[in-house]
Amino acid sequence: MPERSVAPRWYVSVLVALLAAALWSGEADGAGVHGVVVERVVAERVGVERAPPRLHVAALAGPPHDEVRRFGDVLAANGRLVAIGAPTAGDDALSPGAVHIVRLEDGSTSGLTPILCATFLSREEGEHFGGALAMTRMRDRLGRLSILAIGADRASATAPTGQSSPGTAEGAVEILRSRSDPSQPEGSNPWILEDRITSTEPEPGAEFGGALAFDSGYRVQLAIGSARHSVAGKFAAGIVEIFERASGDGGREYVPSIDGDDVEDSVYRGPNVGVARRSAPENPWSHRATITAPVPHSSAWFGRAVALDADWLAVGAPGEDLAGHTPINATGAVHLYRLLPNGYQLIATLHAPIPEPSMWFGATIALDGSRLAVGAPRASVGTDRVGAVFVYELVRPREPPLRLDAPQSQSGAGFGQSLALQDNLLLAGSPGLDQRDQNGEMIEDVGACWAFDLSTPNWVYELAAPSTHPSALFGSACAIAGLRADKTIFPIAGHLYVEEEATAPSPGAAIYRAP
C-alpha cells in the first residue's frame, strides 16, 4: 500500500511542475508578442481534467476621463467596428450620454483606431443616449455601408430638432452611417446622421429605443422595443415597432467640431472625429409594423429584448406571467414571429422548460440564423438564483432547448444577463459574480464572461476581467467582432458600474482575441 500511494503523488508533483513551467513560458511569450496572455488553469484532478483557458485583454477601449463610470455599459459590433455606449457619465446618472466607435485593425490584436464620438441632438441631461445599440452593414450600388442605430430611451420625441422638452421622455433612435469602398477601412469616411426615428405611438416613459436589433438580409429592417408602453390599459405591457430602410442616399454629414467646448467633450482626435453638428435628415426609414404580445400583461416588458435575423423576430418579455391552474408570476416568455408575405406572424411562445417565479426568462436574447439563445438571469441552480441560458434550434421546434449553466455557480451572479451569438460561438455574461483579487481576497460583483462552443456544447474559455474593483459588473454587456471570412474573432465584454458603490472609473470595453 505505501508504494502504491507514493508513486501517484510523485507523478502529480512532476506534472504540476511541468505545467507551471509551461504556463510561465507561455505567458512570457504571449505578453512579448501582442500583450495577449492565455492562462491555463489546472483543475483539481491534475492529469484527468483541465479547465479551459482564461483569455486576457488584448486591447482595452477606456473611458475619456475618470468621471465616466458607465463606459462599456452597452456594446455592438459588426465586422471590425465596435460601438461603445456610455449612456450616463457620472454618479448622478443625468449626463446626456455618448457613443464611441473604434475599429479593430487588420493584422493586430491590440490596435484600435478611434473613429467617432457621437452625442444626441439636444444633449440634455438624462436622455440616456447610447442606452441601446445595434450595428449592421450592407452593400448597395455605391459601395459598402456601415449602419449604427443608437437608442436614447429617455429623450423627448416631441421637441423640435436641436431642442428638448424636459419631462416627456418618450424616447428616440438615431441612425448613423458611413460609406466606403472595399479598398478603404470600415468607418473611415465621414459619418452621416441618416435619420431620427420616433415612435408612431409616442407615450411618456415608454422607453422607445430601449432595445434594438437589425436584420440585414435582402431588406434592412430595424426592430425597436418600447418595454414600458401601455397596451389596452395594461401598464408596461410593451410593444415592438419595425422600421425599414428605403433605398437612397439621404442624410447629412457629421461635421467634426472645432469650438472649445465640443472638443473638450470629444474623446478622440482625428479628421473624422468629434462631437457632431447635425442638420435635418431626409428620413429614409419608414414604419412597417407595430407588434404586441398575443395577450398583453401589465409589467410584462414585452420588447425588453429583441432579436431579428433571417426573417425571424424574437421578442423577450421577462416580466410576463405564466397563466394556468397555478399562475407563475414574472417567469418570462419569448414570443417568436416569422416574416411572411402578409407580415410578421406569431409562430410560438417559448417558456423555460421548468418555469420559476421571477426567473426573467427572455431578459436577453441572441439570434443567429435559426439558432436562438435566451437568458434567464434569475433561474435557479439548486436553491440559488444563479441564472441560466437556453438554446433553441428553430428549425427543430419540437426539440427541448439546450440548457447552459455557469461554470461558476453563485447566488445572484446573473448568468445570462448579456448574450452574443455568432455561428457556434456564444458569449454569456455573469456580472454579479464575486472574484478573488491577486491577494486571494474575495471582491464582490466583479463579474465574469464565458464563451461556449455550441457544436460541442461546452464552455471553451473565460474572458478574464481587466479589473477586480468591487461592483464593476464585468460582463454586463458583450459582443462579437471580426469577419467570418478570415476566421478572426474578437470577443468583447463591458462593464456596468453601480455608481453609488464604484470606487474607480470603468475600465471600459475589453477586447480579446479568440484562440
Number of residues assigned to the chain: 515
Q: How many CA atoms lie within 13 A of 10 on its CB side?
A: 6
- The residue with greater pLDDT, 271 or 76, is 76
Residues 6+ away with beta carbon under 8 Å from 456 = none
The average pLDDT across 293-299 equals 94
Q: Among 8-17, 150-159, 231-240, which is the least confidently predicted range?
A: 8-17
pLDDT at residue 261 tops 80: no
Cα–Cα distance for residue pair 304/153, rounded to 1 Å: 12
Q: Where are the domains of the chain?
A: 2-33, 41-63+374-392+401-515, 73-198+249-283, 204-248+285-359
Q: Does the structure show a pLDDT above 90 at 244?
A: yes
Average pLDDT over residues 291-310: 95
Residue 199 has pLDDT above 90, yes or no: yes
**pLDDT tens figures, 348-396:** 999 999 999 999 999 999 999 899 999 999 999 999 999 999 999 998 8
pLDDT at 92: 53
Region 425-443 average pLDDT: 90
> Per-residue DSSP letters for 133-178?
EEEEEEEETTEEEEEEEEEETTS-SSSPTT---TT----EEEEEEE
Q: Does residue 266 carry a pLDDT above 60?
A: no
Residue 92 buriedness (CB in 10 A; 0-12 / 13-18 / 19+): exposed
The pLDDT confidence band at residue 115, using thresholds 50, 70 and 90, is: confident
Q: Which helix (H) or strand (E) holds 343?
A: strand 343-350
Closest of 65, 102, 95, 124 to residue 264, by C-alpha: 65
Residue appearing with cell numbers 468591487: 470
What mean pLDDT comes out for the span 413-426? Answer: 94
pLDDT digits (tens, 9 = 90+) for 137-159: 887 766 788 999 999 998 887 65
Structure pTM? 0.83
Ranges 172-186, 230-244, 308-322, 396-410: which has the least confidence: 172-186
- Higher-pLDDT residue of 471 and 28 is 471
Q: Which helix (H) or strand (E) holds 220?
A: strand 220-226
Q: How far is CA 482 from CA 53, 76, 105, 369, 422, in A?
A: 20, 12, 10, 17, 10
| DSSP state letter for 126 | T
pLDDT for the residue 148: 95
Cell numbers representing residue 309 in the block: 435575423
Phi-psi region of 242 (alpha: psi -120 to 50; beta: other; left: phi over 0): beta
Cβ-contact 432, 448 below 8 angstroms = no
pLDDT category at 497 given cuts 50, 70, 90 is: low
Q: pLDDT at position 255, please? A: 37
Radius of gyration of the chain (CA): 23
